[in-house]
Amino acid sequence: MIFRDAVQTATRSLRHGKMRSILTMLGIVIGIASVIILMSIGKSAQDYILNQVQSVGSNLMFVIPGGSNNGRLSSPAASQGIVITTLNERDVTALLREPSISAVVPEVRGQADVIYGDNDVVEGYEGTTANFFTVRNMQLEKGYPFTQNDVVSENHVAVIGNELAKTLFGQFVDPIGKFIRLKNVSFRVVGVLIPKGTGVGGVDIDNLVIIPTTVAQHELLGINYYNDLNVQANDAYDINFVKSRLAFVLQHNHGITNSAKNDFTIQTQADILSILGSITSVLTLFLAAVASISLVVGGIGIMNIMLVAVTERTKEIGLRMAVGATNRDILEQFLIESVFLCFFGGIIGIAMGAIVVTGIYFLVTGFTTVAWTFAFPISAVVLSLVVSTVAGIAFGIYPARKAARKNPIEALRYE
């Protein structure tokens, strides 16, 4: 039997049982649509997270107190809640003398009641220097950022997140020039950030209060060390060279001679992107693996229906064998039917997945401020088509072999 005839015979059989073919395909349609939807959402989420990291600024490195034994995924001690006081003003001064470094931004953090009038919310605050806004690409919707003079003079000024401004002041009150209180210390609001979402380390920038480091250290926290340093590399230097210089300066300052005993961890933007990329990729694969369970269930459904079809069409099989079909011809016919069901089920599943992913995109971008990107990975489409075809073969082979092994005499007698 030539392949064209085998295909025509299979499609004719499927056409004659339209309702059955559609119901049989349903399992694969749902399975493939699930894989497409979850892989696309996973990719969008990955792009969103990576964009957030990239948006903090280029050539940026983060110095976190505590060593991490250079393990790629091991977190430094400060990230584990251990208070380490080794990063201080002396380090900032020393790093600013290094030619390969163009800016150093120290950060301290805490949490407090933020009060304006009768409005009272518990939010995080961040003490930093004036160049924080340029180094971290923080743009303002209203007002202006505080200056280095404000930091040195320990002025009580604050820049607040976009969401927090709405919570405290509502739609109709301009926050600029108004006074808010943190731990009974008053701050004059000088600027409101544009919506930014969640930043590095899960900091909710839209609900953040940013104040001068000096005020945060001396009046709110009572400390003289920093929680971390943001270091911007000089564009003229290679980032890895700057990283080594940064390490050298800190080791010298902290009296460390063995780099295995570093009391700090340096993370470049590339390190963070790489770690997050790995995590989100694994999560996407995990989601796809979960979705593929429904694909297996759909495949088993196809196998069941094909087995029923083989029994129902026993007489047809007997006739075809009597008039010259070989076992291979019968096997091919049923296998092609199964592959067609899965393949076209796959195509419909991809189309359904595309519709749902597009719907999610419009929902998220239309009703939230999340900078969601539309992702419909070609790899997911190719994978779905390959998987559905392979499922057709895998789940069709048993019924097809069963059909091909029928005894023609018994098949002809079957009622």
Beta carbon of residue 410, minimum distance to other proteins (angstroms, whole number): 10
Distance CA 294, CA 345 (A): 13
Q: Does 316 bind other proteins (CB under 8 A)?
A: yes
Distance CA 109, CA 31 (A): 46
Beta carbon of residue 18, minimum distance to other proteins (angstroms, whole number): 11
Beta carbon of residue 397, minimum distance to other proteins (angstroms, whole number): 20
What residues pair up with 266 in beta bridges, in sequence order? 63
When binding is defined by CB under 8 A, the residue of 1, 22, 223, 356 that contacts other proteins is: 1
Distance CA 93, CA 71 (A): 29
Nearer to other proteins, 5 or 238 (CB): 5
Strands (E), 165-227: 179-182, 185-193, 209-212
Nearer to other proteins, 211 or 321 (CB): 321
When binding is defined by CB under 8 A, the residue of 88, 147, 329, 365 that contacts other proteins is: 329
When binding is defined by CB under 8 A, the residue of 315, 355, 362, 405 that contacts other proteins is: 315
Q: Tell me how many residues contact other proteins (CB under 8 A).
A: 24
Q: Does 9 bind other proteins (CB under 8 A)?
A: yes
Q: Does 319 bind other proteins (CB under 8 A)?
A: yes
When binding is defined by CB under 8 A, the residue of 325, 341, 375, 381 that contacts other proteins is: 325
Cβ contact 38:287 at 8 Å = yes
Chain residues 350-409 in contact with other proteins, contact rule CB under 8 A: 408-409
Residue 378, φ and ψ in degrees, nearest 5: -60, -35
Beta carbon of residue 340, minimum distance to other proteins (angstroms, whole number): 17
What residues pair up with 103 in beta bridges, in sequence order? 232
Stretch that binds other proteins, among 87-95, 181-189, 310-318, 346-354 (CB under 8 A): 310-318
- Which of 216, 116, 112 is closest to 166 using CA atoms? 116
Chain residues 34-73 in contact with other proteins, contact rule CB under 8 A: none
Beta carbon of residue 332, minimum distance to other proteins (angstroms, whole number): 11
Q: Of all helices (H) and strands (E), which one includes residue 128?
A: strand 119-128
Sign of the CA dihedral with 39 first, then 43, 49, and 53 last: positive
When binding is defined by CB under 8 A, the residue of 253, 327, 373, 389 that contacts other proteins is: 327
Cβ contact 344:10 at 8 Å = no
Q: Does 4 bind other proteins (CB under 8 A)?
A: yes
Cβ contact 343:390 at 8 Å = no
When binding is defined by CB under 8 A, the residue of 326, 358, 368, 369 that contacts other proteins is: 326
- Binding string to other proteins for residues 155 to 194, with x set by CB under 8 A, is what? ----------------------------------------
Beta carbon of residue 322, minimum distance to other proteins (angstroms, whole number): 5
Beta carbon of residue 321, minimum distance to other proteins (angstroms, whole number): 7
Tokens of 118: 């009768």
Q: Does 22 bind other proteins (CB under 8 A)?
A: no
Beta carbon of residue 15, minimum distance to other proteins (angstroms, whole number): 9
| DSSP string for residues in 53-117 | HHTT-TTEEEEEES--TT-SSPPPGGGGT-------HHHHHHHHT-TTEEEEEEEEEEEEEEEET
Distance CA 284, CA 290 (A): 10
Cα-based torsion angle of the residue sequence 22, 27, 32, 33 in order, rounded to the nearest 10 degrees? 80
Nearer to other proteins, 119 or 326 (CB): 326
What is the Cα Rg of the chain in Å? 32
- CA end-to-end distance (rounded Å), the chain: 27
Tokens of 270: 């590339």
Beta carbon of residue 4, minimum distance to other proteins (angstroms, whole number): 7
When binding is defined by CB under 8 A, the residue of 220, 320, 403, 404 that contacts other proteins is: 320
Name the residues that contact other proteins, by CB under 8 A.
Answer: 1-2, 4-5, 9, 12, 16, 315-316, 318-329, 408-409, 412
